[in-house]
C-alpha cells in the first residue's frame, strides 16, 4: 500500500498514554448508569435492581477478518455490533463496551482513529458507552477484544434453554447473505491478486456486502417483540449458522425440532449470487453464519402476534427430543440437521 508520509503518525510518537488520551477524547458517554468510563483502574456502572449481562469476543486479523477488503471503520463497527448482538439475544439492553486492541507498527495512528470511528459510530447508533479497554503492541497483525455489558429486568432475561414442545421457531430478517457476501469478496480478492489491473466487480451487490462488512445487532426486533407483548421462550443470535444455533437451543432445552426449508428467509440477492457460485442458498442460510439475526422460540399462543410482524419468519416448531432435529426439504423429505457452522479451530 502506498502511504503518504505526511498523513501518517507513528504510534511510537504518541506512546500508550497519548493514544489512550486521544481515544478517550473522541468518546462521549450516553448512559446515566455509566458513572465512570475510561481513565481509572476500572469502569463503574450503577445498574441498581437490574441484572447485569456480559459477553465478550476476540477477533484476529487473517482469522476473523481480512484487511484487504475489510475497511478499518467497518471493522470497528462490526467488532462492537457482534457483541451487542449477544446482549440482545439475552433480551437485554446493551449499555457499555470495553474495546481492547493490539496492533503491530505496520499500523499508524490514522489507522487506529479510523478503527475507532467505526467503534464510536456503532456505540452512538446503539446508545452504548465505551468505558474502558487496553491498547498494546503486537508482534504480528491486529487483535481486537470487545466485552459488552447490558442490563435486563430479572424476569425479562431469555436463555437458550427455555424452548418447549409445540413452541414456534422464529428468525428475524434473512439468512445466508453475510456468507455469500464473503464469497464475493474472496473471489474479487483472488482476481485482484492474480491481476492487479482488473477492477473489482462488486456492483449491484450492496446488500450482501453490507451484511458481511457492516452487520447490525437485533435492537429493533427486541423492541418490536416488547411492543407486541411477546417474550421468547428461548433465544440465540445467529453467528455460526442456523443449524448450529438450532442445535444449541435444542440441546440446552432438551427438545427436538422440525424446520421447513421453504420457510427459511433468504433475500433474492443472496439467492442469485449463491447460484452464481454454484452454492445451494439453503445451505448458505443453514451453515453460513455471521448474519447476526436472532433465532428464537415463542409459545404457540403467540402465533397471531408474531405472524403479523414482517421482520419475523416462522420456520418450524419444537418437537419432542426423541424426534431429533430435522429439516423438511421442499420436496417433503426429512433430513437430520448437523452443525457445520464456522469452527474457528478447524479454520487454520
Phi, psi of 283 (to 5 degrees): -65, -40
The answer to the question of residue 149 lying near a second copy (CB under 8 A) is yes
Q: Checking DSSP bridges between strand 312-319 and strand 234-237, what pairing results, if any?
A: unpaired
Minimum CB–partner distance for residue 239 and a second copy (Å) = 9
* 145 is a contact residue toward a second copy (CB under 8 A): yes
252 binds a second copy (CB under 8 A): yes
Interior/surface letters 138-173, b for 16+ CB within 10 angstroms, e for the rest: beeebbbbbbbbbbbeeebbbbbebbebebbbbbbb
Span near a second copy by CB under 8 A; candidates 59-67, 165-173, 259-267, 277-285: 59-67
For residue 269, the minimal CB distance to a second copy (Å) is 28
Is 283 among the residues that bind a second copy (CB under 8 A)? no
Per CB under 8 A, 268 contacts a second copy: no
Q: Closest distance between a second copy and the C-beta of residue 161, in Å? A: 8
- Using the minimum distance from each CB to a second copy, give the nearer residue, 25 or 347: 347
Q: Quick one: three-class SS letters along 204-221?
A: CCHHHHHHHHCCCCCHHH
Site residues (CB under 8 A) for a second copy, limited to 329-348: 339, 343-348
Residue 249, all three cell numbers: 437451543
Residue of 9, 56, 309, 340 interacting with a second copy (CB under 8 A)? 56
Q: How far apart are CA 344 and CA 60, in angstroms?
A: 11
**Other beta carbons within 10 Å of 29:** 16
- State the residue for C-alpha cell 477488503: 69
81 binds a second copy (CB under 8 A): no
140 lies in the binding site for a second copy (CB under 8 A): yes
Q: Is 272 in the site for a second copy (CB under 8 A)?
A: no
Among 73, 74, 78, 160, indicate the residue that binds a second copy (CB under 8 A): 160
CB-CB neighbours of 279 under 10 Å: 17
Residue number with CB closer to a second copy (162 or 181): 162
Residue 58 in contact with a second copy, rule: CB under 8 A: yes
User: What is the C-alpha separation between 318 and 104, in angstroms, rounded?
Assistant: 48
Structure letter (DSSP) for residue 99: E
What are the start-end ranges of the H helices in 104-241?
109-126, 177-194, 206-213, 219-227
- Contact assessment for residue 239 and residue 85, using Cβ atoms and an 8 Å cutoff: yes
Q: Which of 23, 31, 45, 115 binds a second copy (CB under 8 A)?
A: 45
Counting contacts by CB under 8 A, is residue 52 touching a second copy? yes
Q: Which is nearer to a second copy, 69 or 296 (CB)?
A: 296
- Compare residues 136 and 334 and give the one whose CB is closer to a second copy: 136
Q: For residues 6-35, which are near a second copy according to CB under 8 A?
A: 11-12, 14-17, 19, 35
By the rule CB under 8 A, 299 interacts with a second copy: no
Question: 40, exposed or middle or buried, with CB in 10 Å at 0-12, 13-18, 19+?
Answer: exposed
How far apart (Å, rounded) are the C-alpha atoms in residues 244 and 163?
Answer: 16
Q: Taking CB under 8 A as the criterion, which residues in 163-192 touch a second copy?
A: none
Among 129, 174, 216, 237, binds a second copy (CB under 8 A): 237
Q: Counting contacts by CB under 8 A, is residue 137 touching a second copy?
A: yes
**Binding a second copy by CB under 8 A: which of 30, 108, 117, 138?**
138
Applying the rule CB under 8 A, the residues between 206 and 235 that interact with a second copy are 235
Q: How far is CA 183 from CA 103, 219, 269, in A?
A: 27, 27, 13
Of residues 167 and 237, the one with the C-beta less far from a second copy = 237
- Residue pair 128/96 in contact (Cβ under 8 Å)? The answer is yes
Q: Which of 9, 30, 104, 224 binds a second copy (CB under 8 A)?
A: 104
Is residue 46 part of the contact set for a second copy (CB under 8 A)?
yes
Amino acid at each position: 500500500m502506498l502511504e503518504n508520509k505526511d498523513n501518517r503518525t507513528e504510534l511510537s510518537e504518541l506512546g500508550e498514554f497519548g493514544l489512550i488520551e486521544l481515544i478517550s477524547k473522541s468518546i462521549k458517554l450516553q448512559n446515566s448508569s455509566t458513572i465512570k468510563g475510561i481513565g481509572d483502574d476500572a469502569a463503574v456502572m450503577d445498574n441498581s435492581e437490574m441484572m447485569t449481562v456480559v459477553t465478550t469476543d476476540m477477533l484476529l486479523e487473517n482469522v476473523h477478518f481480512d484487511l484487504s477488503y475489510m475497511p478499518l471503520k467497518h471493522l470497528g463497527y462490526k467488532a462492537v455490533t457482534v457483541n451487542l448482538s449477544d446482549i440482545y439475544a439475552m433480551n437485554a439492553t446493551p449499555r457499555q463496551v470495553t474495546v481492547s486492541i493490539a496492533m503491530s507498527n505496520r499500523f499508524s495512528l490514522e489507522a487506529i482513529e479510523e478503527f475507532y470511528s467505526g467503534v464510536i459510530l456503532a456505540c452512538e447508533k446503539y446508545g452504548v458507552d465505551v468505558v474502558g479497554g487496553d491498547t498494546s503492541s503486537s508482534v504480528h497483525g491486529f487483535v481486537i477484544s470487545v466485552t459488552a455489558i447490558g442490563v435486563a429486568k430479572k424476569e425479562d432475561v431469555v436463555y437458550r434453554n427455555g424452548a418447549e414442545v409445540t413452541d414456534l421457531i422464529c428468525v428475524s430478517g434473512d439468512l445466508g447473505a453475510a456468507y455469500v457476501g464473503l464469497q464475493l469478496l474472496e473471489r474479487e480478492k483472488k482476481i485482484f491478486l492474480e491481476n492487479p489491473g482488473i477492477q473489482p466487480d462488486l456492483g449491484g451487490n450492496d446488500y450482501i456486502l453490507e451484511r458481511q462488512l457492516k452487520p447490525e445487532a437485533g435492537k429493533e426486533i427486541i423492541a418490536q417483540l416488547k411492543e407486541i407483548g411477546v417474550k421468547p421462550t428461548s433465544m440465540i443470535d445467529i453467528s455460526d449458522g442456523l443449524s448450529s444455533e438450532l442445535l444449541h437451543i435444542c440441546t440446552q432445552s432438551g427438545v427436538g425440532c422440525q424446520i421447513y426449508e421453504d420457510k427459511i428467509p433468504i433475500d433474492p440477492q443472496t439467492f442469485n449470487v449463491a447460484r452464481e457460485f454454484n452454492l445451494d442458498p439453503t445451505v448458505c442460510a443453514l451453515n453460513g453464519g455471521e448474519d447476526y439475526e436472532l433465532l428464537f422460540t415463542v409459545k404457540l399462543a403467540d402465533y397471531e402476534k408474531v405472524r403479523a410482524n414482517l421482520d419475523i419468519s416462522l420456520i418450524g416448531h419444537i418437537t419432542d427430543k426423541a424426534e431429533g432435529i430435522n429439516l423438511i426439504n421442499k420436496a417433503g423429505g426429512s433430513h437430520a440437521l448437523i452443525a457445520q457452522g464456522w469452527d474457528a479451530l478447524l479454520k487454520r
